[in-house]
Structure 1
Amino acid sequence: MKRLLIVAHAPSPNTLRLRDAAKHGASHPDIEGVSVRVMAPLEATADDVLQADAILLGTTENLGYMSGALKDFFDRCYYPLLEHTQGLSCALYIRAGQDGTGTRRAVEGIVTGLRWHWVQEPLTLRGAWDEDFPRQVEELAMTMAAGLDAGIL
């Protein structure tokens, strides 16, 4: 059984909808060989990542940067993961009130340092809330889980 870890900051009802959509997509009934674990960044540890075969990160844009909670996750886990998770498949979604560029750049810099492997371009959900945002996150998570299930990630 492959393991997909979703580490997503969800400080509002809408961002909670995004995290729930990620879990729902990754848990699609046609995907049988993947277990899904959802954690808040302040709860996730390096051990959780070490047990995962892929990771989906979710964050809000906060003052042009990733959420403090996701930054805390990386601060605590970066060095314990550095030599042990190279090549880990990862993806990212950003709930951005503005353009998300600074947030994306910051996470990409850390992921590059960890030598993780992007499975697709980061998904940036820009501007005012759109009822299509959860569907987009669900599709991202489902694609990741299906890739794990098929053995291509």
Structure 2
Amino acid sequence: MAAAPRRLLVVWHSFTGATEAMVEALLNGARASAGDAVQVVALRAAEANADDVLGADAVVFATPETLASMSGAMKDSFDRSYYPLLGRCEGKPYALLVCAGSDGQPTIAQLRRVALGLRLKEVAEPLLVCTQAQTAEAILAAKAVPESELAKGRELGGLLAAGLELGVF
């Protein structure tokens, strides 16, 4: 009997399409890298729960930066799942994807702090995409992510899927 495929879960939220485009790139990279050896699943933050995280072999948290913080939907996801996860997912591999206007570091720090509390294991440097949106109009506008950034998303997805497939993490 063949072993069940490893499972990569992406929990994500997007306001203007940049994070969603990066998630799609990550998913495409993961699927291209591991084929059927890794089950790749994406859930919106509003839908994801502790059981989804527990059922995954690795997790990516993808969010836009909103007022120097993760999005409210991502925070809500953590609010609903943090205590049910506490003490149950130590060492689970994770990675971060943040789309920001110009900084992103406060959001990365905040997400890392949550992951530290859960004792997750960071297996890749956070992927940060800066859109350079600085006005209200630019911040709220639909985003087109440059191919160079999408390529980084595909690369991260491929890395994570390969790591799962090979048992590296």
Q: Which TM class, normalised by the smaller chain length?
A: over 0.9
What do the CA deviations read for 1:78-108 (whole angstroms, capped 9, x no partner)?
0101111010000001101121111011101
Q: Could you tell me how far apart the structure 1 residues matched to 2:36 and 2:57 are? A: 15
Say which of 81, 88, 106 aligns to 1:84: 88
1:136 maps to what in 2? 152
User: Contact 1:99–1:127 at 8 Å: present in 2 too?
Assistant: no
Among 29, 32, 39, the residue aligned to 1:35: 39
Matched, 1:122 2:126: yes
Shift in Å at residue 30 of structure 1? 4.5
What TM-score do you get using the length of structure 2 for normalisation?
Answer: 0.86
Local SS of the residue matching 2:128: strand
Q: Which has the larger radius of gyration?
A: 2
Q: Give the superposition deviation at 1:141.
A: 1.2
The residue that corresponds to 1:104 in the other structure is 108
For these two proteins, the number of residue pairs brought into alignment is 153
Distance in 2 of aligned mates of 1:45 and 1:26:
22
Higher mean displacement: 14-23 or 63-72: 14-23
TM-score with structure 1 length normalisation?
0.94
Counterpart position of 1:94: 98
Whether 1:21 aligns to 2:25 is yes
How many Å separate the matches in 2 of 1:120 and 1:98?
Answer: 21
Q: Distance in 2 between matches of 1:6 and 1:104?
A: 16
Distance 2:28 2:14 in 1: 15
- Mapped to 2, the partners of 1:121 and 1:30 lie a distance apart of 20
Shift, 1:37, TM fit: 0.7
Counterpart amino acid of 1:145? A
Q: Distance in 1 between matches of 2:151 and 2:33?
A: 16
Supply the distance in 1 between the matched residues of 2:40 and 2:31 (Cα, whole angstroms). 7
After the TM superposition, which of the residue ranges 128-137 and 99-108 deviates more from structure 2?
Answer: 128-137
**Structure 2: 5+ residue stretches without partners:** 133-144
**CA distance in 1 between partners of 2:158 and 2:10 (Å):** 12
Q: Quote the residue 1:52 is aligned against.
A: 56
Given the alignment of the two structures, is residue 146 of structure 1 paired with residue 150 of structure 2, yes or no?
no
Give the Cα separation in 2 of the matches to 1:60 and 1:123.
12
Point out 4+ residue stretches in structure 1 off by more than 6 angstroms. Answer: none
State the identity as a percent: 40
Superposition RMSD in Å: 1.3
For structure 1, the 5+ residue unaligned runs are none
Cα distance in 1 for residues equivalent to 2:108 and 2:114? 10
